[in-house]
Structure 1
Amino acid sequence: MSRIARLSNDLINKIAAGEVVERPASVVKELVENSLDAGAHTVQVSLEGGGLQRMVISDDGHGMGREDAVLCLERHATSKLRELDDLQNLGSKGFRGEAIPAIAAVSRFTLHTAEPGAEVGTRVTVEGGSPPVVEDAPPRPGTVISVEDLFYNTPARLKFMRRAETELKHVEEAVIRIALAHPDVSFLVEHGGLPLFTSPACPDDPTERIAAALGADVHPHLFPVEERRLGVTVLGFVASPEYTLPTARGIYTFVNQRYVRDRGLISSIQRAYQEYLPSGRQPLVVLYLDVDPHTVDVNVHPQKLEVRFSDGRGVYDAVLAAIVRTLRAAPWLGSGAPEAVDPQRQAAHYAQAVERFLTRAQEAVWGGPMPLPTAADAPSMGAPLSAGTPPPPVPMGRAPSFGMALPQLNEAPPPGYFGALKPMGVLGDRFQVCEGPGGTLVVLDRHAALERARLMDFHHILEEGKGPTPSLFGTTVELPLPIAKALMGGRDALARLGLDVEPFGGTSFALKSVPPGLEGVDPRALLEALAQALPPAGASLDAVELAEALRVMACHAAQVSAEKLTDAQLRALLGELDRADFHPTCRHGTVVVLEMPLLELERRAR
């Protein structure tokens, strides 16, 4: 008997989903790109539950007839490719014919479409890869695709999805990338009925789309770049060195209107800016490259995010030359051609930009000169916040504008930021004083830093779903009656969090084990705080419902560890912070209390 067998179409589609449908953002990207390939002038994306519960993508494109509506659900069925040579001259976003059948295989999928002038439309329904159900529908213009309960029939994949807020950020970023590439198309993204990203078509002024996508504060800093060479045209906009970001996420590069992340392109952009930006800062750049389709291979990545150039060096040199020409001209100073700017004036401009950055940082964060913090300025560790009044969450969306130094570091620190710090001492038994790159003074809240790291640990324990593990920890606690009742009803939630709590008669409870990091906590204080933070009976015990309980655990774990942090543990903690996700909120979210450049210190010492 043969050991090799042909896979079923259903299994093939689910395997393809593992490559193409990584998360809700992948679904939105593929379907919005299909809308653009269909000639849509307006694309609307409606989401619920971060996209995991429901996604609806509607457009006003040319739609499909019944035969095509059914055929598009078959793997490798596409209208965009016929012959092998067509791969060398692609003008469409999609071309493999894998996305729609892969999406339909892992969701409850509905397609409603009609061709222009049709008397009747088509509705096709597929549930988890089952045979399609085809029926008549009203002849609405364009196409509407609804994707519900993504990954409902692949629980292993669903388990790896992040919080709804995190998935929503990825969806927003996916739409922004497409919107930047197509300023001639109107986009509307909404979540739970509330607008998330709205931008009307602006073909005559792409900077309006950039401002809508990346923040209105960038608009006055944008300047055009242009470079035309044989086979390569570079157009776009760069922000002046006054406007920078902590990460390279503000670098958007498009090849033939396709968003790509190419290391060579990013490296060329960073090289162009290296003489103009402070250490640890990144530029904001939106570049559009038009190249001969025969000289670029777009079929090298499952999500089509990478390309391969036949003449990479020529493309990279064109990008470098385009940006360098604009930066050397310093148009934000009001000068004209590059030769009108002398080196002394450029150096003076750079010093003025740094000075303006320091002034804005002081006014935005402190409302004036930045005082050194004291222990009295920080919230007491012994008075945890009540469960009903958590700190305001980090707002979803883009990072704060340039000059808001501390919020950026507490929401999206640059890669390697914490590992590069050199600890120098402790202030007020709580604040860690460090030397940052370039002689910067950095003050950290040790409690908040530990809280952030432990929160990540407890999230991982929850994701693994192993429940309590045997340990040497054990104690019995007498609790008030309301607390005891809450713990009785929340034992399943406590087990999901890694705590083994059992009734011990009356209102006494035995705490038999706790997750690593909570050894040595005050058991009574921990259980009383958790009783108020547990979700109501019947709630789904996922990371969203257990978020407040996780914050309570992280705060108590940090309270114990902060008092006995050794030098080796501090170095390890800084490494953990570089790997931490700063999107989930903590009870004490401000890790970086102060960051003061050497230039400001020298000015104060005069």
Structure 2
Amino acid sequence: MPRIRILPEILASQVAAGEVVERPASAIKELVENSLDAGAGEILVEIRRGGAALLRVIDDGSGMSRDDALLSLERHATSKLVDSAGLASIRTLGFRGEAVPSIASVSRFRLITREPQAVAGTEIAVEGGVMRDVREAGCAPGTTVEVKDLFFNVPARRKFLRAETTESAHVEHQLRMHALAAAGVRFRFRKDEREVFDLPGGMSRLDRVRWMTGTELGKELIVLPLTHGNGVSVEGFVLPAAHARRGRRHQCVFLNGRPVEDSAISRGLAEGFRGALADGLHPAAWMWIDIEPSLVDVNVHPAKREIRLHRPHELRDVLAEAVREGLAKAEAAKRPVFKVASGPPVRPADELPVRHSSPGPTQGPSPARSAPREWPATLPVQRIFETIAAPAPVVIPEPEQKALPFRYVGTLHERFALLESEDGLVLLDPRAARERILYERWLHDADGRGVESQTLLVPVLLEPGPRECELAIRHRDEFAKAGIELEDFGSGTLRVGSLPDFLKLADVRSFLTGLMDELAGGQLPGSRVAFDHLAKLLARRAALAESPRPQEALRLLEVLFRCDLPYCAPDGRPTLSEFSMRELERRFSGVKSGGF
């Protein structure tokens, strides 16, 4: 066995850097947290080449003396923690004292700092963990940290960095999170000598969220009531259930000013939406939680992303109740208010009786008159409005008239079609069938004359976020091949100018936003496979955008059986499931067909 020995200081810092500094965005996170802890009112972040060549953080915080600046480069040196009892009352973002020496050990590092009352500042240069120079410097109050050639001395780590655009997107996402967490601080971000955004200080949290979501979605934000109790206060905003998405990337949660991830918080948000979310979807939310420090442990993850709550069920219940109350108030505010000059009071919309339309006597035909639509007498007015505004169905080409070996029997919960075949009972999933039809149409058109696109009368501007935007731009050719023309509109915004001509959607924005979310869940490989993957996602999103309509089963089957693989959706789910008479008889304990 080799002898145990103490690691050299530089090597120990490089090992620590492996946990703390995964990529340029990780270094930015640590340095910005230090600036916020120093009471900065303005923070400027600059990067070049995704942050690998240069990242610089400038703040106007409290700064440091020469002695403190030198100590900050020692491992486990911090001004934020004095004894073990302090771990139970941490209110600062940083406290371990590992970030600065770890970053300095894997880069060419420069620190310039001055306290407001000091005549001169201090400049320290470090290269790969080795101190090169310490001198006085003229500078403004505050601290500037400059990191060049990140991982220059750790090539194994440097080769795992992604493309510059990807790393830049991660940096921008990290800054957006900090800008939301500290709404009162001015944040500026410059990338390759170009200013990406400049957020003034003193903004409200609502204004910061609206800046992040964009104008259109910002109008739909639902304000949750401010909740206090049991050492916890909650403030936040959610989007309606229609904007729920796969994954939790659009849940921004800040606990005591720190961006965090926690399953109890996510469950609380989901419970508040109970009954309104489809399986696998999560609500978009922005939550600020202030909690007594003794009730949470923030020292359970190297990057401090995860936390451990001492009473998670209490916080979950508080969040669920806040969401339920906010949604109820938003729904009540949308109810129409009827005012009449005189007469009996008008009942709420959901209680109004619905009359059957009947043509009265007329004098001659009227071109403006059409056949009335019959509504069930018990259908609420709100349901009528929803039916009128239902998404436009995807246009399916008229099939050739062919006799099908099925007889339509009925529907199951308005979701599946029940059919009778020569051998038994068949269940058709209209949604899976439409996925197969649309998927093969995308592949066929792309391989042939190309997918014909229709220019949108008003281009759609999406703000999916910097990482999603970068991913979409990187695969712009695949989108164009699918009939979707998009371009970078700047600041994490995409401009969508056209869609496939056969895709008829009532809510284009929701369709595209859901698509970007699914794309962000994984990487697209090479070109042909990439398009195949994109076509699958497009087909699924288009099928989800409309109601199943099992009553049109026979017409749908005629089109489905023209496909190369009609019996399964693109992801392998069955479109048809058959239960033979023999199987049914066996299930019913040997009862024979044709008698008892």
- Number of the residue aligned with 2:56: 56
Q: Distance in 2 between matches of 1:116 and 1:243?
A: 47
Work out whether residues 335 and 349 of structure 2, in 8 Å CA contact, stay in contact via their aligned partners in 1.
no
2:543 alignment counterpart: 596
In 2: Cα distance, 1:213 partner to 1:229 partner = 29
Distance 1:105 1:344 in 2: 70
- Three-state SS of the structure 2 residue aligned to 1:43 is strand
What does residue range 294-313 of structure 1 map to in structure 2 within 5 Å? 294-313=294-313
Contact 1:223 1:331 in 2 (8 A): no
State the distance in 1 between where 2:126 and 2:269 align.
45
Name the SS of the counterpart of 1:4 in structure 2.
coil
- Alpha carbons of 1:182 and 1:361: their partners in 2 closer, same or farther (altered >3 Å)? farther
How far, CA to CA, are the matches of 2:388 and 2:148 in structure 1?
51
**Is 1:215 aligned to residue 214 of structure 2?**
yes
- TM-aligned CA deviation for residue 311 of structure 1: 1.1
**Cα deviation 1:326-354 (Å, max 9, x = unaligned):** 11233474469xxx999889997699679
* 3-state SS in 2 of match to 1:136: strand
Q: Which amino acid aligns with 1:291?
A: I
Name the residue aligned to 1:36.
Answer: 36
Alignment of structure 1 residues 390-405 onto 2, 5 Å: 395=488, 397=492, 403-405=508-510
How far has the Cα of 1:123 moved from its partner?
Answer: 0.9
Kept in 2, the 8 Å contact 1:199–1:212? The answer is no
Partners in 1 of 2:536 and 2:308 — Cα distance?
Answer: 42
Structure 1 residue 164 displacement after superposition: 1.2
Q: CA deviation at 1:137?
A: 1.2
Shift of 1:594: 6.7
Instruction: Please list, as runs of the form range in 1=range in 2, the aligned pairs for 1:382-397 lying within 5 A after superposition.
Output: 395=488, 397=492
Deviations along 1:398-450, one digit per CA (max 9) or x if unpaired, are 68998435544554317999xxxxxxxxxxxxxxxxxxxxxxxxxxxxxxxxx
Structure 1 408/117 Cα, relative in aligned 2: closer, same or farther at 3 Å?
same
> Which sections of structure 2, spanning at least 5 residues, go unmatched?
337-346, 353-378, 396-436, 452-475, 497-506, 556-596
Matched position secondary structure for 2:241 = coil
**Aligned equivalents of 2:351 and 2:300: distance in 1?**
46
Contact 1:227 / 1:321 at 8 angstroms: preserved in 2?
no
Q: Distance in 2 between matches of 1:215 and 1:361?
A: 28
For the structure 1 residues 288 and 63, does the alpha-carbon distance in structure 2 shift closer, same or farther, using more than 3 Å as the test?
same
Looking at structure 2, the residues matched to 148 and 323 of structure 1 have their Cα atoms a distance apart, in angstroms, of 45
Q: Secondary structure at the match of 1:75?
A: coil
**Distance in 1 (alpha carbons) for counterparts of 2:547 and 2:391:** 7
TM-score by length of 1: 0.63
Q: Distance in 1 between matches of 2:268 and 2:5?
A: 48
Alignment of 1:123-522 (within 5 A): 123-203=123-203, 205-225=204-224, 226-331=226-331, 333-334=333-334, 358=391, 377-378=445-446, 380=448, 395=488, 397=492, 403-408=508-513, 410-413=515-518, 454-455=525-526
**How far, CA to CA, are the matches of 2:30 and 2:444 in structure 1?**
53
In structure 2, distance between residues paired with 1:347 and 1:15: 65
Which residue of 2 is the match for residue 585 of structure 1?
Answer: none
> C-alpha offsets along residues 145-169 of structure 1, whole Å, 9 cap, x if unaligned?
1111111110101111111111112
- Work out the CA distance in 2 between the residues paired with 1:67 and 1:121: 11
Provide the rounded CA distance (Å) in 2 between the counterparts of 1:604 and 1:140.
73
What is the alpha-carbon root mean square deviation over aligned residues?
A: 4.0
Q: Is the 8 A contact 2:41 2:185 kept in 1?
A: yes
Deviates more, 1:294-303 or 1:392-401: 392-401
Partners of 2:254 and 2:384 lie apart in 1 by: 33
For 1:87 and 1:31, how far apart are their aligned partners in 2? 21
1:192 offset after TM fit, Å?
1.0
Q: Measure, in 2, the Cα distance between the counterparts of 1:287 and 1:341.
A: 33
Residue 412 of structure 1 aligns to which amino acid in structure 2? D
Quote the offset at 1:125 in angstroms: 0.8
Conservation of the 8 A alpha-carbon contact between 2:107 and 2:128: yes
**1:304, CA displacement in angstroms?**
0.6
Residue of structure 1 equivalent to 2:465: none
Query: 1:32 deviation in Å?
Result: 0.4
Q: Which amino acid aligns with 1:223?
A: I
Q: How far apart are the structure 1 equivalents of 2:22 and 2:486?
A: 26
| Cα distance change on mapping 1:112 and 1:279 into 2, 3 Å | same
The SS at the match of 2:266 is helix
Task: Answer yes or no: is the 8 Å Cα contact 1:66–1:122 preserved in 2.
Answer: yes
What is the aligned partner in structure 2 of residue 444 from structure 1? none
Distance change >3 Å, CA 342–CA 83, structure 1 → 2: farther
Q: Given residue 596 of structure 1, which amino acid in structure 2 is its aligned partner? A: A
Q: Are the structure 2 counterparts of residues 283 and 375 from structure 1 closer, same or farther at C-alpha, using a change threshold of 3 Å?
A: closer
Does the 8 Å CA contact 2:262/2:306 hold for their aligned counterparts? yes
1:100 maps to a residue whose letter is V
Judged with a 3 Å threshold, the aligned counterparts in structure 2 of structure 1 residues 272 and 17 are, in CA distance, closer, same or farther, namely same
User: What is the alpha-carbon distance in structure 2 between the residues aligned to residue 58 and residue 296 of structure 1?
Assistant: 31
Deviations 1:97-139 (A, max 9, x none): 0000000001111111111032211111111111241112113
Provide the C-alpha distance between the structure 2 equivalents of 1:282 and 1:112, rounded to a whole number of angstroms: 44
Q: Distance in 2 between matches of 1:374 and 1:189?
A: 40
Distance 2:302 2:281 in 1: 31
Q: CA deviation at 1:254?
A: 1.4
Q: Which amino acid aligns with 1:113?
A: T
| Aligned AA (2:105) | A
Superposed CA deviations along residues 171-218 of structure 1, whole A, max 9, x for unmatched, are 111111111111111111121122323321234x31111122233322
State how 1:110-121 maps to structure 2 within 5 Å.
110-121=110-121
- Give the letter for the 1:358 counterpart: P
Task: Name the structure 2 match of 1:76.
Answer: 76
**Structure 1 residue aligned with 2:87:** 87
Alignment check: 8 A CA contact 1:13 1:75 kept? yes
Question: Bigger shift: 31-40 or 108-117?
Answer: 108-117
Q: Retained in 2: the 8 A contact 1:114–1:139?
A: yes
In the alignment, what sits opposite 2:576?
none
Q: Which amino acid aligns with 1:595?
A: A
One-letter code aligned to 1:56: R
Residue 494 of structure 1 is matched in structure 2 by none
Identity of aligned residues (%): 33
Match of 2:341 in 1: none
Q: 1:208 to 1:5 in 2, by over 3 A?
A: same
CA contact (8 A) 1:231 1:291 kept: yes
Query: Residues 590, 393 of structure 1: CA spacing in aligned structure 2 closer, same or farther, 3 A cutoff?
Result: farther
Whether the 8 Å CA contact 2:487–2:495 is kept in 1: the answer is no
The superposition leaves residues 442-481 of structure 1 with CA deviations (integer Å, 9 ceiling, x where unpaired) of xxxxxxxxxx8542xxxxxxxxxxxxxxxxxxxxxxxxxx
Are 2:393 and 2:546, in contact at CA under 8 Å, matched by a contact in 1?
no
Native 8 Å contact 1:184 1:202 kept in 2: yes
| Partner Cα separation in structure 2 for residue 591 and residue 56 of structure 1 | 40
| Number of residue-to-residue matches in the alignment | 432
Note the alpha carbon deviations across 1:342-377, whole angstroms, 9 max, x for none.
Answer: 988999769967976836999xxxxxxxx9757775
